Amino acid sequence: MDPRTRAIALLATFVALLAFHSWLLYRMVSAQNWLLAALLVLAIGLFLWRIAHYAAAAHASTLHRAALDREQELRQIRLMAPVLSGALVLHAWLISLLLPIQEYAFVALLFVAVGAFVYRLALYAKRYSELRGRSTN
């Protein structure tokens, strides 16, 4: 997939995630569940950050901007891996809360999110070791 198409696809994905989490925020505020509402506000902020990033990436790819160099890619992995790890733990915790009250539709969505986090973290680990291995040669 070319960089512009990838950036647009990820932009659309994060816009959809933003819409879904905004709806969840509405539900949590209506239920006066302030802890989950605060966590959703944090998630929405992260989505807005990624939306801005991928919008800029889509625009930059039309300008034929150079790809990330090794140090920039390592920095990005060092930044995103803890964010994804935290999201993974949070979503696993939410699964443990929602299973007993039989919210199976939300649990299924959470399992999809957990799978996506694990997959992305595995890609980061592989790429990080490749980049670190290249520096020792």
pLDDT in tens, 104-129: 888 999 999 999 999 999 999 999 99
Measured CA distances, 59 to 4, 10, 13 (Å): 8, 13, 17
Residue 60 confidence (pLDDT) above 70: yes
- Residue found by looking up tokens 């939306």 in the block: 51
pLDDT in the model for residue 114: 95
The residue-averaged pLDDT of 33-38 equals 91
**pLDDT reported for residue 52:** 94
